[in-house]
A = this chain, B = another copy of it.
Amino acid sequence: MKHALPVTREADFAAWYQSVIAEADLAEESGVRGCMVIRPWGYGIWERMQRLLNDRIKATGHENCYFPLFIPLSYFEKEAEHVEGFAKEMAVVTHHRLIGDGKGGLTPDPAARLEEPLVVRPTSETVIGTAFSRWIQSWRDLPVLINQWANVVRWEMRTRMFLRTAEFLWQEGHTAHASAEEALEETLRMLEVYREFAETCLALHTIAGEKPENERFPGAVETWSIEAMMQDGKALQAGTSHFLGTNFASAQNIRFQNASGELELANTTSWGVSTRMIGAVIMTHGDDDGLRVPPAIAPWQVVIVPMLRDQPEDQAIVDYCRDLQKQLAAQSALGEPVRALLDLKPAKAATKRWGWVKKGAPIVIEVGGRDVAGGNVSVIQRTDLYQDGGKLKSAVMPRGELVETVGALLRTIQDDLLARSTEALRAGITPVDDWSAVESHFAESRRNPGWVDVRWSKPTGAALDQVVERLKALKLTIRNAPQGQGAIEGDCIFTGAPAVERVLIGRAY
């Protein structure tokens, strides 16, 4: 069976990933090291994600703000532990003017050196915490529940589009509370927002849980994540939520007068998801014909391709398609009006059809002269592309029937993608009872080992370091300790001490 991409997942998963990004017009290299251009189809998916997640962030009482791109060096010096984790690779602005270099080129003006260099934000705890210290005086000012949508820069040495880029887009939530309990509650509330959003909108079944101590955000007391499993069995951390305790409040002097008139440190949280999620969607839902976009986040859910032949009857076909587009747009799917596009670009119908298949539009409708005569449409469904024998499956149906059922069909496609993600995750997790079973499970011969689920005693300090080293030798990391575990019995597979919880272990992006 011939597929639309130049490389299959089976042949080379990493090359396949890059080919989906290129062939589906999601993004491209920009010529600026580690930075990408997000093209309209990729950015359209991001806009849908933003809209749906933003609604959830607002519904939980948060307000959006905007804080500066630049952070003075001194802000980082205040939070020693935070600096340790982040200060290494960041873009630093040192000059504020360019002048001619005398050779026809430009150069930073030595006379315009900044007294204090500015860091391009890698994350905004320091600058937002400083604002919190101005805003918060009394218990009446709490909680402060803030979010921002922004670009951030981390000077990554090895970049991969969407997964790890020098500049990326994200939202970062930052909150301050009167007590540790409230802040922890907020941390878990937003973790659940992420889990539900990934499930409902991205059709991604993820595991929500706590990261081990060694994987915590620098300065955090607890870090929680949602972990998704890619089709090659690797884990992708798709979102994190941090309980920061009073660590940042103490460095940034976020204090409030409590009801009894005493000064207390606030407890803070932060949480974020990024354009990385687009990488998760590609590697979860893509197939050898390109991307398959879940209808909830598809910029266009239905694309109508008229089969024009430079003949007088073309006009009737275009008119028929316009009517269809209007009828579809008046329908509703997943609680919103159907997003239907009529593709009138000057290209061959077959080229357009395969273009939309590669982009992963959930439904592609082809309309030719015969369809118009019969009052029909030819429907291609992205999640059910081929007949037995490998021929493209294109179902002819009355136009009215399509219009009536399009909402249900999009719902079915969304549910189907989620069901596949759920089943892949279920099948990809193997409970394992001892270390040697971990070693044999991740033997090099195994193509897609997924994750193992093991008991551990949650060691800390040097004991944890030893565990991390053993895992590192097999290129493994602890993903998280899933939420809502019951009590467990048995011994830790690493230390032999009584186990306190189960953790998931796997390779990761």
Residues of chain A whose beta carbon lies under 8 Å from any beta carbon of chain B = 28, 30-32, 35-40, 43-44, 46-47, 63-74, 76-77, 83, 87-99, 104-108, 117-120, 127, 130-131, 134, 140, 146, 150-151, 153, 155, 167, 169, 345-347
Contacts and interface: CB of A to CB of B under 8 A. Distances in A.
Contacts of A167: 68-70
Contact of A37 (B44, B95, B131, B153): B131
B37 A105 contact: no
B92 A32 contact: no
B32 A70 contact: yes
Given A35-B68, A68-B35, A73-B98, A120 B119 contact: no
A96 B92 contact: yes
Copies of the protein in its oligomer: 2
A447 B69 CA distance: 39
B92 A66 contact: no
B120 A93 contact: yes
A346 B83 CA distance: 37
A64 B104 CA distance: 35
A146 B28 CA distance: 15
A77 B104 contact: yes
Most chain B CB inside 10 Å of its own CB: which residue of A28, A44, A64, A68: A68
Nearest to A347: B140
19 contacts: A35-B70, A39-B65, A44-B63, A69-B153, A70-B153, A77-B105, A77-B106, A90-B97, A90-B98, A91-B95, A91-B118, A92-B94, A92-B97, A92-B98, A92-B108, A93-B94, A94-B94, A150-B151, A151-B151
A167 B93 CA distance: 13
Contact of A105 (B63, B73, B88, B153): B73
A44 B30 contact: no
Given A71-B32, A167-B68, A95 B94 contact: yes
Contacts of A43: 63-66
A95 B109 CA distance: 15
Given A65-B37, A69-B151, A108 B94 contact: yes
Contacts of A150: 151
Contacts of A89: 96-97
A35 B74 CA distance: 16
A347 B140 CA distance: 8
B96 A90 contact: yes
Given A91-B93, A346-B140, A67 B30 contact: yes
A37 B68 contact: yes
Contact of A68 (B36, B117, B119): B36
A153 B107 CA distance: 18
A66 B169 CA distance: 9
A83 B44 CA distance: 32
A104 B155 CA distance: 23
Contacts of A36: 68
Contacts of A93: 91-94, 120
B108 A117 contact: yes
B92 A65 contact: no
B127 A98 contact: no
A91 B98 contact: no
A143 B435 CA distance: 61
B106 A97 contact: no
A93 B345 CA distance: 41
Given A73-B105, A91-B70, A347-B140, A63 B35 contact: no
Pick the 3 closest A-B CB pairs, nearest first: A35-B68, A40-B63, A38-B66
